[in-house]
Each structure stands twice: as structure tokens, then as C-alpha cells.
Chain A
Amino acid sequence: MCALCGVLGGKGHWSDSAASPAVFASRTEPQTRGRERQARTRLLNAVLKSHGIVVKDWSGSSYLLTGRTGRTAIVDTIADLWPAAERLAGRAIDPLDEHYLATLAKLS
């Protein structure tokens, strides 16, 4: 638990393991993990923009989602993030949806 904000430690997600073998087993390179987390937050914002959702990294342990109406949700992992994002957006987020993919393709 974080002593400052009282957040209970999350259960982690498989993608939290960094891709690099050096970080993989020991998880002793916070700088790399921090950078990966920043990169992920940027990507999450990119893919959720069309749904009107803004994502912020919260203390490196959770994600704070804000919808168009200002409603917020805090989630621990990206597995928990999608259902929360769908609730805030009021519609499904489907990576196999043709229109959604077309919107994303324009970003790259």
C-alpha cells in the first residue's frame, strides 16, 4: 500500500512485465518501467480519444480516466481499464470494429 495516498497495491497485469529481459525477471529498473508506463499512458490517450476519454497515470500505480461529462474512474490495470472506459463512454470499444480502426489509422 502506498503510505501517502492509501492506495492498495494492484494485482498487476501481464503486460506490466517489461519486454526487455534485463527488467523481466528482477523488475529492478524503475526508470525503464516508468518510461514504459508513460509510453502506455500516451498510447491509451491516443486510442481512447475518439471515445472522449482522457487517461492520466496516477502515482505510477493506477490510471485515472475522465469522460466527456467529467465523470471519473480509477483502475489498477489495463485489464480493468476497458470496462471502465466503456462505462464512461457509454459504448463498446472494439479493436476489430472497422470504423474505429479507420479512425485510429488516421492518427498514425
Chain B
Amino acid sequence: MADYSELTPVNIITGFLGSGKTTLLQRLLRSPDLADVAVLVNEFGEVGLDHHLLQGVAENTVLLGNGCLCCAVRGDLQRALRELLSRRTRGEVPHFRRVVIETSGLADPSPIAYTLLSEAVLRHHFRLSGIVTTVDAVNGAGQLERFRESVKQASMADRLVMTKTDLADESAIATLRQRLRRLNVSAEILQARDVGEDFAQLLTDDIYDAAGKSREARGWIAEAVDEDAPHGHTADVQSFAVIFDEPLDWTAFGVWASMLLHRHGADILRLKGILNVAGVPTPVLINGVQHIVHPPSHLDEWPDADRRSRLVFIVRGLQRARIEQSLAVFNGLVNKPSTTARPREAGEPLRSPSYR
């Protein structure tokens, strides 16, 4: 399999109905850095309005025929991506280096991530890059209150872009920003008006991009470990950081995380983190969307002076203290090379050096 960082990155742009996904995408696609992007648009309703708006912008648009990108139509996405791939190979479309999927306003982004990482052909050619979620500054707070879809879209984001901020007053924007921060401690929150045409980083920065991964990792953890940050929950979704002073054993972490995601993956919307792995001088980056974890990525150096492992969880109904305790117990099961080893007493049974 090709190196993960060499696969074609796929971004997801999501956001509730009317939150300005298409407008944002149009602006981004004018960036010269994003000239070779293929766009998949999700038709919703009788008129594929999004598609017509986008037609003039991107040549490689493929319209997904089905209404919604949720689980039921994963096959559609699979076919569309496979078709793009084979047309690129045959030279029927200009060579693209990135794919952007604009979801419908009611879509759940997690099946898209699942499709990319689990489908037999696609996972050898594509990888998930950042998830960008637009939130309407005027109606966003109400939508987060009333619609689970909106909460899910915001909590899964790597970047949250507040749109229509020119129509909302400053205090409403500040309140929405705080609310989004509570919902998603690790996402970068910005305003659409600040996103210029040269702001390709909004899509290109991720932990597999050589140029952007250190910046991306810093962004994940900066807010999450800020003690004054308004941690907490919106609706039933909570977002918090778990911090470990002790280096983590890679084997213990893998066993623990896979067991946790098996049992509770449906309630773990995102899991991201920077790990201090025992015996490894540089940090390992972990990035998960529900049951799915991307192959870990490696930074050449620590992004800041902090050497602790920092894991950001965005969950539904799971307790932070219990997660912390659980990881500590698993990590404790693997004995580090010990200086306190003592000779075996006469008659004492032989024990495995690592596990009792």
C-alpha cells in the first residue's frame, strides 16, 4: 500500500441547510493553490441547486444522484470516487490532486469517512483530510438547539467557519463562538469573511501534509489544554481533553483505543491527539472519526515545549474521569524496564517479565 501521505486527500465541507457551504467552496476554489481539485456535490431536493451554482467553478464536478450522503447512499459516494479515479487514470479529466465533497445540509459526515477508510479500492487511493463545517451566525445557535444533525456536523469538524457574520451582532457572534468551542474543543473557529481566496490552508492543512502537519497539531491542542477554555457540553455532546504526564506505551494504547472504539465508537464523534510514546523521542498524532482511526502520523519535532500526551475527545454521554482512569489502567499493565526488579525468592513461581 502506498504511503498514507501520498494518497489523494479528500476534504468534506458540511454544514446545516443554508449555512453557506457552497459560497465558501466557491471562494476557496478560486485559490490558485486549489486549482486541481475535483468536487463532488450532493444533490438535495428536486433541484440540484448546489450543483448548478458550482458548475462554472469546477470542471470535475460529479453529481451524486441520491439525496443524502448518510449510510444508505455510501455506495453512491463509492461509485462516484471510483469513477473519478478511473477517469483520472484514463486522462479523461484533468489530473486532480485533491477531492472536495460538499455534503447536503442534513448529512452526517461520518459515513463518508468510513467509506474512504474501509472500501477496498478507495482506501488505497484516497485519504480523509480536514472536515470543514459552516455555521450560520444568524441561525446557527437555533439550529444547534433543535437539530442533532447540526450538532454532529459541528462536533466532527476540524475547522468551523462562521458565515453571515456581517448580518449578526457582535454579542451573538461571541455567544455562538463560545458555544461552538464547548462543543468542539479542538477545531479552529474562524469567520468566513476572514477566509480569503488565498486561504487554501483551510483545506490543505492536515496531519499528513508535510507542510501543514505541525501547524495542524498545534491547532488541535492549543485550545484543548487551555484551562480557562469553556469546556462543557451542548445538547448531549461533550468535548474535553485528557492529559497524561507519563509516556504512553504504544501497544497498550492500541489495545485500549481499539477496545474503547469497538464498545463506544458510536458515542465517540472524534478522537484526536498528540502522544508521547514511551521510547520514541518525537510525537505521534492520532486522528479518529467514530469507529475509524486513521493510520497514525509522525511529527519530526514537538510543536511546543509541552511533552505530555494530550488526547481530545468529543463524545456523547461518556465520562472524562472514567476514560482517563481506563487508559491509565491499560498503560499500567505494561511494565516499563524496571530498576526495582528483585531476585526470585526460593519457591516463588516463575512469572512473565512483563505481565503478572
Contacts of A7 in B (CB 8 A): none
Interface of A is mostly: helix
Interface bits A85-108 vs B (CB < 8 Å: 1, else 0): 000000011111010010011011
Q: Who on chain A is nearest to B261 by CB?
A: A79
Distance of A104 Cα from B3 Cα, bound (Å): 37
Report yes or no: B257 in contact with A15, Cβ–Cβ below 8 A: yes
- Distance in angstroms from B251 CB to nearest chain A CB is 5
Report yes or no: A21 in contact with B332, Cβ–Cβ below 8 A: no
Report yes or no: A45 in contact with B355, Cβ–Cβ below 8 A: yes
Report yes or no: A95 in contact with B254, Cβ–Cβ below 8 A: no
Interface bits A33-62 vs B (CB < 8 Å: 1, else 0): 000100110111111000000000000000
Contacts of B125 in A (CB 8 A): none
Distance of A33 Cα from B75 Cα, bound (Å): 35
Count of residues in B whose CB is under 8 Å from the partner chain: 43
Contacts of B356 in A (CB 8 A): 107-108
Count of residues in A whose CB is under 8 Å from the partner chain: 36
Distance of A19 Cα from B297 Cα, bound (Å): 9
Report yes or no: A105 in contact with B260, Cβ–Cβ below 8 A: no
Contacts of B332 in A (CB 8 A): 105, 108
Can you name 6 A-B pairs with beta carbons within 8 Å? A15-B293, A19-B250, A42-B352, A94-B263, A104-B333, A105-B329
Known: A43-B333, A93-B262. 18 other contacts (CB 8 A): A14-B295, A19-B277, A21-B298, A24-B298, A40-B254, A43-B252, A47-B255, A47-B259, A79-B261, A79-B262, A83-B262, A95-B259, A95-B260, A95-B326, A96-B318, A96-B319, A101-B325, A104-B333
